Amino acid sequence: MKIVMVGSGYVGLVSGACFADFGHEVVCVDKQESKIAALKRGEIPIFEPGLTELVRSNAAAGRLSFTTDLAGPVSAADAVFIAVGTPSRRGDGFADLSYVYAASREIAQALGRYTVIVTKSTVPVGTGDEVERIVRELRPEAEFAVVSNPEFLREGAAIEDFKRPDRIVIGTEDARAQQVMADVYRPLYLNSAPILNTSRRTAELTKYAANAFLATKITFINEMADLCEQVGANVQDVARGMGLDNRIGGKFLHAGPGYGGSCFPKDTLALIKTAQDYGTPARIVETVAAVNEQRKRAMGRKVVAACGGSVRGKTVAVLGLTFKPNTDDMRDSPSLSIITALQDAGATIRAFDPEGMEQAKAVLPGAVTYCDNAYECVEDADAAVIVTEWNIFRALDLDRVRTLMRSPILIDLRNIYRGEQVREKGFVYADIGRGISDPVSSHAIDAA
C-alpha cells in the first residue's frame, strides 16, 4: 500500500518506519527542510532506541523516503496519516489544531484517487468532522474518508509499542475506509493485536480518556507518597500492595516528581477544556492537572529543605533532564520547573542528561552549566538531585560522588536508591514517600 505520513516527528517517523517495515511503501513528509535533509542522509533527528537502524534499513530497501513536498506522494496515496503536533493553545489550554487544519488543506489540494485521511495526531473529539468539512469544501468532487486512528506509543519504547500494541483503535463508520485501514494494519491483524473498530468520535475520545486515566494514576500515587512521608510509610510497598490487585495493576504507580512529557500535560488540559465546553466538567482530571502542576515546583522546595532550608549561593547538580529515560524529549519535563524553582531560590545549576541536553539548552531559562557526565556534574556541588531515572544513574560509584561533592546531599526524586545504602556512605538522603523508618523494603531492594 502507498502511505504518506504528514509530520515526521516522534510519532510520524516511528509510524512511517514501522509501516515501511511491514512492507508498505511510505513517504514521510515534513515542513522542516533541515529535518528532511538529515533524514535523507540517514541521520535521525530524535533519540528513540532502534529507530536509526529501522529507518536506514527500510530506506535502503526503497520502502521509506522523505520529502518536504506533500503533493506528489499524496496524489498517489491509499492512506495519508496526519501526525503533526497538537500542542496546548496559549491562553486556554485547548489543543492548538492549526497544524492539523493546515495539513488538511494541503492534503485536500493534492488528493488524487480515493484516499483515506487518518488523524494519528491526538485531536479533540469532533476534529475529524472539521477535517472532513475542510477537505469537502476545498475539493467537493474528491473521493475520501476521514478516519481517527490515535497513537498510543510511548517514547523510549516506541517501536516495540507500535509493532506489538496493546490495541489499535480505528474510528470510522465508512466500510471502504475500514477495509483500507485493515490492509494498512494487516501484519498486526495477523499477530492478533486487538483491533477496536469504533465511531470516529469514540476513537478521538478514547485517546484522551486513556491519557487522562494514566495521569490520574500517577498523580494518585504521588499524593499517597506525600502522605507516606508524613506517616512514616513506604509508598513503593503501598504501590506494590495496590498493584498486585489485578483490578488496579502495578503500572504507572511509581511516585516521582510529577508527570511531564509531550502528551499528558497537554492532553489533560485539552480534555478539561472539551468537557467544560460540553457542559460536563471533568472534575477529577481538573484536580489531577492542578495537583501535578503544583508538585513539579514543590520538588524544588524539597531540594531546598534537604539542603537545610536554603540553596542561596549553593550549587545543585541535576542528574537527568528529560521527562523520562530513553528519550531526548524535553517537552513539559518536570526538570524545567524544578530548575527554575532552584534558580529562583538562588542556586547555581549544573546539569547532565545522556540524551536531552541539546533540547534542554533550547528550553531551559537562565544560566545552566552543562556537563559531560554524572561525575563532572556533581563536582563541587552542594547537593545532587536525580530527576530522571536513566539506567546510568542507578549504579553510580557513590564513594566517588561523595568525594567529588562539596557536601554529600542526594535527593532521589525517582527512588532508585535504597536509603540505608546511601546513608551508609555518608550522604544526607531524601527520596519520595519512603519514610526513613522503613529501611528494609523488599520492593526498594528490587528497584535499586
Ligand X SMILES: NC(=O)c1ccc[n+]([C@@H]2O[C@H](COP(=O)([O-])OP(=O)(O)OC[C@H]3O[C@@H](n4cnc5c(N)ncnc54)[C@H](O)[C@@H]3O)[C@@H](O)[C@H]2O)c1
Closer by beta carbon to ligand X, 2 or else 31: 31
Q: Which of 210, 184, 209 is nearest to 195 (CA)?
A: 184
Q: Which three cell numbers stand for residue 120?
A: 494519528
CB of 121 to ligand X, least distance (A): 3
For residues 65 and 39, give the distance between their C-alpha atoms in angstroms, rounded to a whole number. 9
Binding positions for ligand X, rule: CB under 6 A: 6-12, 29-32, 35, 83-86, 99, 102-103, 106, 121-122, 151, 153, 155, 262-263
Closer by beta carbon to ligand X, 94 or else 429: 94
CB of 260 to ligand X, least distance (A): 12
Pairing relationship of beta strands 195-198 and 315-319 according to DSSP bridges: unpaired
- The reply to whether 263 belongs to the active site is yes
For residues 346 and 341, give the distance between their C-alpha atoms in angstroms, rounded to a whole number. 9
For residues 390 and 326, give the distance between their C-alpha atoms in angstroms, rounded to a whole number. 7
Closer by beta carbon to ligand X, 26 or else 228: 26
Q: How many CB atoms lie within 10 A of CB 350?
A: 21
Closer by beta carbon to ligand X, 170 or else 224: 170
For residues 237 and 257, give the distance between their C-alpha atoms in angstroms, rounded to a whole number. 18
CB of 342 to ligand X, least distance (A): 27
Q: By the 8 A CB rule, do 406 and 427 touch?
A: no
Cα 102 from chain centroid (whole Å): 24
For residues 141 and 137, give the distance between their C-alpha atoms in angstroms, rounded to a whole number. 9
Closer by beta carbon to ligand X, 87 or else 250: 87
Helix (H, G, I), strand (E, B) or coil at 312: coil
CB of 428 to ligand X, least distance (A): 36
What lies within 8 Å, CB to CB, of 252 at 6+ separation is 214, 217, 218, 221
Give every strand in the sheet of 383-386, ordered side by side.
368-370, 348-352, 315-319, 383-386, 409-412, 428-430
Closer by beta carbon to ligand X, 100 or else 432: 100
Distance linking the first and last C-alpha atoms of the chain = 47
For residues 204 and 211, give the distance between their C-alpha atoms in angstroms, rounded to a whole number. 12
CB of 32 to ligand X, least distance (A): 4
Beta bridge partners of 67: 29
CB of 12 to ligand X, least distance (A): 6
Q: Which residue in 18, 28, 228, 263 is the catalytic one?
A: 263
CB of 414 to ligand X, least distance (A): 20
Instruction: Supply angle C-alpha 392, 396, 399, rounded to 5.
Output: 170
Closer by beta carbon to ligand X, 300 or else 334: 334
For residues 371 and 282, give the distance between their C-alpha atoms in angstroms, rounded to a whole number. 43
Catalytic residues: 263
